[in-house]
Amino acid sequence: MCGIVGYIGSNMAAPILINGLKKLEYRGYDSAGVAIFEDNDLKVIKSKGRLAILEEKVNKDMPKGLIGIGHTRWATHGEPNDLNSHPHISHSGKIAVVHNGIIENYIELKEFLQSEGYKFVSETDTEVVAHLIDYHYKGDIVEAVIESINEVEGSYALGVICKDCDDKFVAARKDSPLVVGLGKNENFIASDIPAILEYTRDVYILEDKEVVVLSSDNVKVFNNHGAEVKKEIFKVNWDVSAAEKSGYEHFMMKEMFEEPKVIRDTISPRIKDGSISLDNINITSEDLEKIEKIYIVACGTAYHAGVVGKYVIEKLARIPVEVDVASEFRYRDPLITNKNLVIIISQSGETLDTLFALREAKKKGARVLSIVNVVGSSISRESDDVLYTWAGPEIAVASTKAYNTQLSALYLVAMDFAMKKGHIEEGFYKKFIEDLKNIPQVIESVLANKEVIQRFASEHYNAKSIFFIGRGLDYALSMEGSLKLKEISYIHSEAYAGGELKHGTIALIEEGTLVICPMTQDNLMDKMISNIREVKARGATVLAITKESNQQVEKVADVVVTIPDVDSLIAPIAAVTPLQLFAYYMAIQKGCDVDKPRNLAKSVTVE
Ligand code: F6R
């Protein structure tokens, strides 16, 4: 999704902005631009396509100014072209604006501004903001921004520079992330921490409708009524290398190799003296007695983690669980009361649909427990309880290590609830904890054998359509495997419950169709073997992913990838890795840009 960087200090702004935007490239974008305050004027340079094109343009005619804002745009209103890319300049040429989010009442505002004589040159909603600030500007830029944000509806992170201001610039946010970086004689804004991590680790996290005024040696934050707000400094504790490739060809591969470590980081601190302790989350046995149903709400990969969560919580804790796609949940007037617990899952903690689903749940009285990766993100701040997945920054657009840690967190929750509800025996509980602690080693062994999958991908990357089938937890895994493949290799694929295939989709299986079968559930092994026979009888080529001891699978599948023997209940945390590797190698074989797949964005902060 779009990225924002802003700078004020004693250095030339342009190189710092370009450098920061490079760190945000992973978010996905299709054009980029900068605006620099120079010689009492605003110099704007922008271009469609890759950041390298903008960098070349900037280097040819380097602006010398010390204040600037930069943007990478992921098109929503208007196609990606030079005109629609940010920054946008107001009618009078006085105000330059970069914006993430969507202004929902932009048509009304545009009509009003047009009636006031403002001419529009782009198709974007953002241009409205530039003109609106210009309209309200009577010599005080902070006042103009405050008046404007009180009139716009929708979501925004804004960076604003003004031709009349040689000592400050302004930013604001609502429902779209923005942090302020506090430096020494220089200050920054950024939509995401990696953009400024090279310069500072001290940040302010802005709340909705806060407006910040930055000069080189001072930062002041106001609310939307103009009253000053005291902010606490948030210290970023991960280091720069966490957001770099460190010798791997792609972030995605690096992040898969980090899975053992981040699972350990997520599980270990929560196991004390052989028992699960969920940070400061105090959901007691009495609280659990009152919970009639749990809703798990998320998007994309996080939603697929939620599907695993449903199986596991229902099986262990015997509480009914409904899993919902956030964009559907929030608009379907869900039957939520204070007798429900809502578990929100999000890597970024900023996905707009998920955030709004959280608000809907809270409005209806539910307690919200979120499983989030980014500390200080909107979702983490608005939840009643937060269980962080310590996955570190995930840069590749395709989520990998975050998923494994989301599953780890869900298993801890399920076990904790099960024990508190008295549904499991001490012996089972202890063994389960030991098995969970062993998962990182299992993944290490899967990664060490990645060549089997690489070879298979090199033989099959021309496939036009691929099916993933599985039963029980393997069905949940199939959904994630299919999504991963689609998003980075652009190969059409579908995930089906093994038993459901014969109710229609089997019509699509023909000679040579590739079918991928995660098979980690011991109690469903025979059923899956029958499903494999069904597709093989119609000419399919089958890749199965199963546990080492399931030797019978070799008799039916064409190729078998094994994972070390683990309990079926927790097998998905490890069995997803071969599916991620498969998607990765298929995409590489096809020459796709795995870290930045087309049309996709990392953190989806629009609806
Ligand atoms: C897929 C992927 C997306 C995200 C989804 C939710 O690889 O990354 O499907 O899982 O956009 O994002 P978060 O978890 O940040 O809420």
Of 558, 547, 539, residue with least CA distance to 455: 558
pLDDT for 83: 76
- The structure tokens listed for 497 are 């419950």
Residue in the structure block whose two tokens are 């400061």: 280
- CA–centroid distance, 584 to ligand 1, in Å, is 17
- CA–centroid distance, 602 to ligand 1, in Å, is 7
Mutational pocket test of ligand 1: of 176, 323, 329, 347, the residue with most ligand atoms within 8 Å of the beta carbon: 347
* 451-589 placed in CATH 3.30.70.20: no
Considering only CA atoms, which residue is closest to atom 7 of ligand 1?
Answer: 398
pLDDT for 606: 67
Query: What is 3-237's CATH topology?
Result: Glutamine Phosphoribosylpyrophosphate, subunit 1, domain 1 (3.60.20)
State the DSSP H helix or E strand holding residue 467, giving kind and residue range, or none if neither: strand 465-470
Of 256, 602, 192, 605, residue with least CA distance to 397: 602
592 is an active site residue: no
602 is an active site residue: yes
- CA–centroid distance, 304 to ligand 1, in Å, is 10
pLDDT for 505: 85
| Catalytic pick among 2, 162, 165, 592 | 2
- CA–centroid distance, 493 to ligand 1, in Å, is 18
Q: Give the number of other CB atoms < 10 A from CB of residue 434.
A: 12
Residues 6+ apart with CB under 8 A from 1: 27, 28, 74, 100, 601, 602, 603, 604, 605, 606
- CA–centroid distance, 367 to ligand 1, in Å, is 23
Give the separation between CA 472 and CA 337, rounded to whole angstroms: 29
Task: Name residues contacting ligand 1 (CB within 6 A).
Answer: 299-302, 346-348, 351, 354, 398-399, 487, 603-604
Considering only CA atoms, which residue is closest to atom 10 of ligand 1?
Answer: 301
Considering only CA atoms, which residue is closest to atom 3 of ligand 1?
Answer: 300
pLDDT for 1: 67
| Catalytic pick among 94, 254, 596, 602 | 602
Q: Residues 251-446: name the CATH superfamily.
A: Glucose-6-phosphate isomerase like protein; domain 1 (3.40.50.10490)
Distances (CA, A) of 89 to 4, 69, 85, 137, 545: 16, 12, 11, 14, 55
Closest ligand 1 atom number to CA of residue 354: 16
Closest ligand 1 atom number to CA of residue 484: 7
- CA–centroid distance, 77 to ligand 1, in Å, is 22
CATH 3.60.20.10 maps onto the chain at: 3-237
CATH 3.40.50.10490 maps onto the chain at: 251-446, 451-589
Mutational pocket test of ligand 1: of 176, 307, 348, the residue with most ligand atoms within 8 Å of the beta carbon: 348
Whether residue 601 contacts residue 74, with contact meaning beta carbons closer than 8 Å, is answered with yes
The segments of the chain whose pLDDT lies below 50 read none
Distances (CA, A) of 482 to 458, 487, 488, 535, 584: 18, 9, 10, 17, 12
Closest ligand 1 atom number to CA of residue 304: 10
Please state the pTM of the whole predicted model: 0.82
Dump pLDDT digits (tens) for 199-240. 999 999 999 999 999 999 999 999 999 999 999 999 988 776
Q: From the centroid of its chain, how far is CA 484?
A: 14
Considering only CA atoms, which residue is closest to atom 11 of ligand 1?
Answer: 300
